[in-house]
Amino acid sequence: MGTIPSETIEQIAAANDIVEVIGSYFPLKRAGANFKALCPFHQEKTPSFTVSPSRQTFHCFGCGVGGSVFRFVMDYEHIDFPSAVRKLASRAGITVVEKYRGGGADDEQRQRELRQGLLKLHAEAAQWFHENLIKKQVGEAARKYLRARGITAEIAKRWQLGYAPEEWDAFCSWARTRSYDARELIASGLVKTKDETDLAQTQTSNLKPLTSYDRFRGRIMFPICNDVGEVIAFSGRLLQDKEGAAKYLNSPETALFRKGSVLFGLDKTKRALIEANCAVVCEGQLDLISLFEAGITNVVAPQGTAFTESQARILKRFVNEVVLCFDADAAGQKAAERSLDALLENELIVRVAEIPPGEDPDSLVRREGKGAFETRVEGARDFFDYLIEREAAASKPESYPERIRLARRIVEMIARVPEPLLRGEIVQKTAARLNLAAEELTKLLPAIPTREVKLPVADRIQLRVPQVIEELCRLALRNPEFREFLRSQDWQRVLVEHEWGTLVTSILEAQLDVTKPDSIDAFLNSVDETERSFFSHLLTEKLSTEKAPGRRGWIKPEIDAMRVGKESWSFLQKDSLRRELKRVETLMAQPNVSPGDVINLQKQILDLREQLHELSQPAGPADK
């Protein structure tokens, strides 16, 4: 990945007004100098999400998220910084030229060109497959099949479904007319080569030797997209079941496609996932499309059968809970169990929806409709309830040894729950169900290392910053005169004494010009997430002196701000002096202090007391 020059980033920031950008996602209401809306990052009834057009920042006073226009796009779209920059660049019609430096530059450049070539090939291939399905004679049988499963032309268009003809060379010939070379086609995984032995056999059998052939033949094609909606791979479903051929075939891993890190449908469903805070997980692409089209839009499908660690990690960025809607058959049950580890590891709550034998989400939602399916999702049982019921039904444990044997099996699963409270709860439940004492079950649990629990965005604990530091930060950020005053003080020495002093230090050290949005943006990007939340709050809120202009009649707000700021500063100075005084006094009290040191320390103590006394005097005539 190259770097985007900072001039370009500034240019992009300048061309994307934060009110317009956020306003294009959801309506904003004017509230004085700012704009307000219900926060998209947490559930709320009264708007605390605030956008400041003058600072070009946003902040939610409910959950603490905040930052620049780039931060908003990153958080809202769940994309990284370079992607947010590119997205806003294209919105403003600015071309991003990335810089490549360092030793691996050539290699990086080649990789990038390869990826871009593959993206173009995939986009065109998806269109070609799609046209086969929609317009061509060759797609008739596929059209019929999809119609029978309730997939209309409109739905096929929305998901860009396609058809790969039942031929060895249909895709290859098309691709050659588009002048893609063999190397590129093979790198895309859409074309396979015959190995040497295959070649020899073909030649002895007198057939026209084919060195390469289409991977997908006679299949309905589902484009697999990355989370910004670019086609990166395909999944093909066999139109007519054939012996020895897999019903579903996916693209192999390529420079674009890492099978275990893509969730089918995510590009279309992520907003719904965030809103529901819950993902309905189904196995197949058709299941997902049927649910989505029926109006159940918070859906994803893992590629393959069970969740990988990286898929679960991606999902956790959007939801806290998943409802598995896997088929009732043995394969579906296995997939559910094998998904569990990855899901629990990522602290997702896992529930299992009841799918009657012989049905799948696709057939169910078409037969019963949206409402009935939603009832199933709502009624989905906790994974462990489901597991206990299933195991108990299978083995009917009556005697004590049988119940203990079953408990051992379930405890193996419980051990995978990383969160101790949740684990304890499941132990209680299992014990009750098996008519065993909870302590007995706990004893069966292997030792579990404690882990740090990450809080989701909406519950994030905000910095509990002392009032005096908050006041100093607020004014240092927003009042240039006060910032200059602080910089004229002995600020490094004073701030280093205070545990929260670094917050003020980072403002004073930054080349910050609050009249320039790109300067604010650079500053907010230089601090960590909790600090960003704290600073964006201070930048976006109204100042108390702005809230009630003329509150003090003849005192101008700026003077008021300076007075408040200086009081806070003097408080901190005194605090720092007292700490120093205490340190020196402790040194004095040491048993073997040399007489020379005693004189020195006494002098320091006097000096510090003097300074403290001066600071405690009411403001002299110079301040009037």
Give the residues lining the site for Zn ion (CB under 5 A).
Answer: 39, 41-42, 60, 62-63
Cα 539 from Cα 531, distance rounded (Å): 12
**Which C-beta is closer to Zn ion: that of 62 or that of 236?**
62
Cα 435 from Cα 541, distance rounded (Å): 57
Cα 6 from Cα 372, distance rounded (Å): 53
Which segments of 196-325 are extended strands (E)?
212-214, 219-225, 231-238, 248-250, 263-264, 278-282, 299-302, 321-325
Strands 278-282 vs 299-302: parallel, antiparallel or unpaired: parallel
Q: Do residues 236 and 221 touch, judged by C-beta distance below 8 A?
A: yes
**Which C-beta is closer to Zn ion: that of 232 or that of 274?**
274
Q: To which residue do tokens 């300067």 refer?
A: 519
Q: Work out how close the CB of 461 gets to Zn ion at its nearest, in angstroms, rounded to a whole number.
A: 14
Q: Work out how close the CB of 63 gets to Zn ion at its nearest, in angstroms, rounded to a whole number.
A: 3
**Which C-beta is closer to Zn ion: that of 91 or that of 542?**
542
Burial letters 302-325, b for 16+ CB under 10 A, else e: bbebbbbebbbebbbebbbebbbb
**Which C-beta is closer to Zn ion: that of 29 or that of 579?**
29
Q: Work out how close the CB of 37 gets to Zn ion at its nearest, in angstroms, rounded to a whole number.
A: 10
**Which C-beta is closer to Zn ion: that of 251 or that of 533?**
533
**Which C-beta is closer to Zn ion: that of 59 or that of 270?**
59
- Taking the CA atoms of residue 48, residue 52, residue 53 and residue 54 in that order, the dihedral angle to the nearest 10 degrees is 160
Q: Work out how close the CB of 319 gets to Zn ion at its nearest, in angstroms, rounded to a whole number.
A: 17
Q: Work out how close the CB of 39 gets to Zn ion at its nearest, in angstroms, rounded to a whole number.
A: 3
Q: Work out how close the CB of 314 gets to Zn ion at its nearest, in angstroms, rounded to a whole number.
A: 22
Q: Work out how close the CB of 617 gets to Zn ion at its nearest, in angstroms, rounded to a whole number.
A: 45
**Which C-beta is closer to Zn ion: that of 45 or that of 208?**
45
Helix (H) or strand (E) holding 350: strand 349-352
Q: What is the DSSP letter of 223?
A: E
**Which C-beta is closer to Zn ion: that of 63 or that of 365?**
63
Q: Do residues 158 and 221 touch, judged by C-beta distance below 8 A?
A: no
Cα 131 from Cα 119, distance rounded (Å): 18
**Which C-beta is closer to Zn ion: that of 59 or that of 143?**
59
457 burial (CB, 10 Å; 0-12 / 13-18 / 19+) is: middle
Which segments of 378-514 are extended strands (E)?
381-382
Q: Work out how close the CB of 580 gets to Zn ion at its nearest, in angstroms, rounded to a whole number.
A: 41
Q: Work out how close the CB of 514 gets to Zn ion at its nearest, in angstroms, rounded to a whole number.
A: 23
Between the alpha carbon of residue 175 and those of residues 123, 171, 535, 548, the distances in Å are: 12, 6, 53, 69
Q: What are residue 323's phi and psi, to 5 degrees?
A: -115, 115
Angle between helices 105-134 and 170-177 (to 10 degrees): 120
